[in-house]
Structure 1
Amino acid sequence: MNASPGSAPALYPSVITHVRTSPRQYKLTHRTYLWLIDLDEPPRLPFALRPLARFDGRDHFDAAATDIRTGLEAFLAGRGITLDGGRVLMLAHARVLGYVFNPLSLYWCHGPGGELRCVVAEVHNTYGERHCYLLGPDAADHADVPKEFYVSPFFPVEGEYRMRLPAPDERLAITLHFDLGGHRKFTATVRGERRLATTGVLLRAAVRHPWSTVAVAASIRRHGIALWLRGLPVQNRPRHRPQEGMK
C-alpha cells in the first residue's frame, strides 16, 4: 500500500466528540480512525489485510450500485449536478471484518479542473436507514441545511444543521452543530491528524481499535441507553422515504 504526503488514501486517527446542551447536558468522546480515499483509486491492500478495509458500493447510496462512485453520481444526477470525471474524496469508515457502520460519510466532489462543485453528507442511523444532504459550502467551508432525517431518538426531525467541512489535509477538523428553535442543542466534532496509509499504520490502527466499526455502533447505543435512563423523552420516528436513486 503506497501513499504520499497530501494524497489519498490516508488514515486519520481521530477523536469524535458529541456535546448535548439541551434538554440535558451530556458529553461523549470516542477514539477511532477514518479513511480518506479517492473513489477512483481506492486503497490496494495486501491480500491478508483486505478484511481490515473494504469499500463496497452496497454500503453507500444505492446499495445495488456496482461501486460507490456510481451511487454518488446517480444521486447527484437526480439533482442536476455532474462532475465530468472530476475527483471525489470520501471520508468514512471502511468495512472491517465484514461489518461497517458510518454515522457520517463525507464526499468532496470536484470538477475536472479541480474546483469544488459540492459536498455530500451521507448519514446512517441505527435503524438501517440512510439520507444524503447536498451541500454548497462557502469560501470559509461553512454550509447550513435543514434537518430532514431521524438520527437521535431524543431530537425531532426539524431544526437546522450548521457545518464546517474543510477538506482534510494534514489535519482533520469537521464541526457539526444542530440548532432548534434558535437554540444550540448539539455539537459534534471530528479531529484527527493525517497518517500515510501504509501497511504498518493500518495494522497499528487496527490493533488500537479492533472491530472499530462495531465499536462505533455499540458506543452510540450504549450512550443512547444512558440518556434514556436519565429520563430523556424519546421522539417518535417518522417513516423515512428513501431518496431517489437510493434504497
Structure 2
Amino acid sequence: MTDPALQSDGTLYRGQVMHKRMKPFIHELTYSVFSILVDVDALPQMDQRMRLFGHNRWAPISLWDRDYGMRDGSAIRGWVEAALQEQGLALKGGAIHLLTFPRLWGYAFNPLSLYYCYDSDHQLRAVLYEVSNTFGESHGYLIPVSAEQAAGAAIHQETAKVFHVSPFIEMSCRYHFSLTAPGARLSVLINQSDSTGDPILMAKHTARGVPLTDKALLGAILRYPLMTAKVIGGIHWEALRLWLKGAKYYPKPPAPTKHVTR
C-alpha cells in the first residue's frame, strides 16, 4: 500500500480530533487541528525550500528531531529502524512517513505521532504509534502490518496498554486501532476498552490533505494561530471537568523500561 498523499515531500492536513468517553459517564469534546505528514528523509530539503518551515531550527512551523524517539536529537529514521530491527522487521531503505503536530511558534505537544513504515517495494510493513503524556514521558507501540491488511481498505490493529496517559483511565486496557494509509483524506480511529472488555474511550482524527507549501503553512498559521496552547490547555481543562464529574483517579505508575513495545 503506497502513500498517495505525500505530494513532493509533505502534506498538510486540516481537520478535527474527537474524544468521547463512554464509561462511567458520557464526556465528549471536539476541536479543530492541523497536522503534517512528512518523509523523514526529506526534512533537510523541506527546510531549504520553505520559508515558514524549519527542521531543527526555529521557524513559525518547525519539526525538531529531539521531540521524537529518544529525545536526544538523534535522527528520527535511526530510532525507528532500530525499533523495527529489534522486532525482526527490515525496511531495506523504504520510506518512513511521520504524521504529527509540528511546533508552532517554537512549541508543540503531541499526544500521538504515527510513523508509517514502508519497505523498498513501497508496501506498508508496520505502524509505530508514539504516545506522549503531560509528565514529559513518551512510549511507542510498534505493530506489524500483514500483506493482507496492507492490500485492504483499512488496517485494524490492537495492543495492550503499558504506558500511563490519563490519570482518569486505568492501566488494564487495550487499544484498538483502525486506520488507512494517509491519502487525500486522513482517518485514524482509536477505541480503548477496559479490563472487562467494555469500551471506555473513543478518539478519532479526520482531515483533508493539501501539499505542504509555504502557502498551506500560512493558511494553517492564520487559521490555527494558537493551536499548541489550545491542545495543552484543552487537555488540562478536560481533566478538570472529568475530576469535577467524579472520575476515579489512578496514580501514575513507573514508565515502561523499554521505549518501544511490540
Query: How high is the TM-score relative to the length of structure 2?
Result: 0.87
Partner of 1:227: 242
Q: Please, which of 147, 161, 168 is the counterpart of residue 182 of structure 2?
A: 168
**One-letter code aligned to 1:197:** L
Deviation at 1:217, TM superposition (A): 1.4
Match among 209, 212, 216 for residue 201 of structure 1? 216
| Residue 158 of structure 2: aligned partner | 144
Which of 192, 200, 204 in structure 1 is aligned with 2:207? Answer: 192
Q: Distance in 1 between matches of 2:88 and 2:228?
A: 33
Is the 1:120–1:134 Cα contact (8 Å) retained in structure 2? yes
After superposition, the C-alpha distances for 1:73-96 in whole angstroms (9 at most, x for unaligned) are 222233332221101111101122
Secondary structure in 1 matching 2:177 = strand
What amino acid does structure 2 have at the position aligned with 1:195?
V
Q: Give me the whole-angstrom Cα distance separating, in 2, the residues matched to 1:224 and 1:103.
A: 14
- Aligned to 2:241, the other structure's residue is in SS state helix
2:40 is matched with 39
Aligned residue identity for 1:125 = N
| CA RMSD, Structure 1 to Structure 2 (Å) | 1.9
- Give aligned-pair identity as a percent: 31
- Secondary structure at the aligned position of 1:41 is classed as helix
Distance in 1 between the 2:221 and 2:53 partners? 10
Secondary structure of the residue that 1:194 maps to in structure 2?
Answer: strand
- Of 157, 179, 195, 2:193 maps to 179
**CA–CA separation in structure 2 for the residues paired with 1:143 and 1:179:** 13
Deviations 1:117-147 (CA, angstroms, capped at 9, x unpaired) = 1110000011111010011245130001111
SS in 2 for 1:113: coil
Separation (CA, whole Å) in 1 of partners of 2:83 and 2:238: 32
Contact 2:125–2:145 (CA<8 Å) still a contact in 1? no
Give the Cα separation in 2 of the matches to 1:215 and 1:35.
17
How many residue pairs align between the two structures?
243
TM-score (norm 1): 0.92
The counterpart of 2:80, out of the listed 55, 72, 76, is: 72
**CA distance change for structure 1 residues 55 and 67 in 2, over 3 Å: closer, same or farther?**
farther
Give CA-to-partner distance per residue, 1:13-65, whole Å, 9 cap, x none: 01000000001110000101000111111233534553122222211111124
In the alignment, which residue of structure 2 is the partner of 1:131?
Answer: 139
